[in-house]
Amino acid sequence: MLMKTPTQSLTEQLSQRLAQRIRDRLLPAGARLPSVRETAQTQGVNPSTVVAAYDQLLAWGLVEARPRRGFFVREFDKKKALSIDSIGFVATEKGGCPGAQSGLAQAAAEPPITSPINATALIRGMFHHLSDKPQPGMGVFPPDWMASTFMTAAVRKVVSPVALQTASLSYGEPKGDPALRQALSARLRSMAIDAAPGQIITTVGATHALDVVSRTLLKPGDAVMVEEPGWAVEFARLDALGARILPVPRGPQGPDLDVMARYCEASPTGAPPKLFVSVSVLHNPTGQSLSPGHAHRVLQLAHQHGFYVVEDDTYSHIAPPHATRLCALDGLRQTIYVSGFAKILAPNWRVGFLAAPPELTERLLDTKLLGTLTTPSLLEKALALCMEQGQLRRHAERIRTRLDGARSRSVKLALAAGCTFVAEPAGLFGWVDTGVDTEALAQRMLDEGYLLAPGALFHAARKPSTLMRINFATTQEAVFWGVFSRVRDALR
């Protein structure tokens, strides 16, 4: 709740709080502000105070008013600069700051925002320190879950004075540290994926690996099939490359095969899709895993129509031992494998990799060299040591055991709070139906110090949703669900 002080009016406090959230991308472009009446109720102020605060946001150029629809965070042209003063949060555009009335007139004249979800808002929000509370919308394990001593010891072993001097004063191997690629090859063989070290290229995280593949195989206008719901960053990344995104509904067994077949036979772009990007195991956000039958059908379509399947196996370290993987069934002929270690080991080491058919590796390597030259070899050497000595495997086993307990507690609490799971709970994430608009719910939960991941974030285009993704590791305490129930019931 807001409280009037000798130095700040309630209007100033509310307008500056909302301006800060817009600056931090917790309220991304296109987000609808709660109605005046709703904000007055949640903040415990008079509606006139909210009207004045919204007018101030209009004057600063941070929001626009749409007749009979409400107030929306503005989306700024890339050629314009948005700056918010660190003290007064005064927003200006190059060429002058519009007043409240001119901002209202301009907003009324502009067309509605129809752009995809702002994925950078999700990234900023997931790592924004909103409060010291466990964050249900975060996409990673809590730091204390991943803490270990063996990583530090591994780094010490590979940075002897001579080794540090040698590694620092020369570029590493273009494809990545040979010892790490050898260890990765052995790990993939244990998953029935036959990839020689020469087929493996290390990258700056799994997202970079996905980007290397896209930049190598796509040109603007090419069609790419992507599972929906899916990872917002992948939608936005492909859109930024100029790709035509073809959403494929994801079900309990895997992607909708009929939709994929229709895309292949009559693509809206006039050409068949070039790629299909899939999180086949422990899908984000549903937690579902691909069935063997679906996997065979997907590969049949890929070979028949000539598109590559990019298998994003980000959650491989917490996956069931015998999970079905497309790359294992295909033998890396029409498939490309992508994974990394940020989710399970060391987010800031930024070590990822891809494994590809032999005929593609040199083209993929060229793209990597153009973007990053090589990747830092010291951390790659340390990771190889952790893998060779079995420390990473034992670390992953401990996290899986801890996650199983957290998932059990979180599911019970979610069900007790009146939520339903639209997919069988598995892995790190739960896909939950709340019964209310989760974008509106997310904005109200910010006032309570919690960051949610509303369902609209996981679709190629913004649309209302009652679903949200929860992180089982951060929603196993009753305190969060008590606050959630209170805010959700008030929203109803």
Cα separation of 206 and 203, whole Å?
7
> Could you tell me which of 491, 477, 444, 484 has the C-alpha nearest to residue 1?
444
Q: What is the pLDDT of residue 487?
A: 94
Q: What is the mean pLDDT of residues 250-279?
A: 89
Say if CB 326 and CB 309 are below 8 A apart: yes
Identify whether the C-beta of residue 253 lies closer than 8 Å to the C-beta of residue 278: no
Q: What is the pLDDT of residue 126?
A: 56
Q: pLDDT value at position 251? A: 94
Q: Which tokens in the block code for residue 142?
A: 């809590």
Mean pLDDT of 177-205: 97
Cβ–Cβ < 8 Å for 235, 177: no
Q: Which residue has the tokens 């003290």?
A: 87
Top-confidence residue, 343 or 42? 343
- β-strands 352-355, 200-203 pairing: antiparallel
Q: Are 72 and 66 in contact (CB under 8 A)?
A: yes
- As a whole number of angstroms, the distance between CA 408 and CA 424 comes to 12
Number of H-type helices and E-type strands within the chain: 19, 15
Q: Give 47-97 pLDDT, tens digit per residue.
A: 899 999 999 899 888 999 998 888 999 876 443 434 444 334 443 333 333
pLDDT band at 437 (very low <50, low <70, confident <90, very high): very high
So what's the pLDDT on residue 118?
A: 53
Predicted pLDDT at 121? 57
How high is the pLDDT of residue 110? 31
φ and ψ at 244, to 5 degrees? -90, 115
Q: pLDDT for 8-44, tens place per residue?
A: 888 888 988 898 888 877 787 788 888 888 888 888 8
d(CA 60, CA 54): 10
The fraction of the chain above a pLDDT of 70, given in percent, is 87
Q: pLDDT higher for 89 or 421?
A: 421
Under 8 Å between Cβ of 180 and 203: no
Quick check: 194 pLDDT over 90? yes
H runs (alpha helix) in 417-463: 438-446
Higher pLDDT, 108 or 354: 354
Asked if residues 201 and 210 have their Cβ atoms less than 8 Å apart, the reply is: no
What percent of the chain is predicted at pLDDT more than 90?
57
Work out the angle between the directed axes of helices 100-109 and 47-60 (0-180°, nearest 10).
Answer: 80
Average pLDDT, the chain: 86
Task: Identify whether the C-beta of residue 317 lies closer than 8 Å to the C-beta of residue 264.
Answer: no
Angle at the Cα of 484 from the Cα atoms of 478 and 490, rounded to 5 degrees? 140
More confident residue, 373 or 116: 373
Given a contact cutoff of 8 angstroms between Cβ atoms, the answer to whether 417 and 484 are in contact is yes
Domains and CATH numbers, the chain: 10-109 (1.10.10.10), 119-139+394-491 (3.90.1150.10), 150-389 (3.40.640.10)
**How far apart are alpha carbons 415 and 432 in whole angstroms?**
10
Q: Which residues, at least 6 apart from 366, have a Cβ–Cβ distance to it below 8 Å?
A: 216
Q: What is the mean pLDDT of residues 147-156?
A: 90
The whole-number pLDDT of residue 461 equals 81
How many other C-beta atoms are found inside a 10 Å radius of the C-beta of residue 172? 18
CA distance 177 to 75: 43
The values of phi and psi at residue 150, to 5°, are -70, -25
**Mind listing the pLDDT tens digit for each residue in 154-186?**
998 888 777 777 777 777 899 999 999 999 999
pLDDT classification of 120: cutoffs 50, 70, 90: low
Report the relative pairing of strands 453-454 and 200-203 from DSSP bridges: unpaired
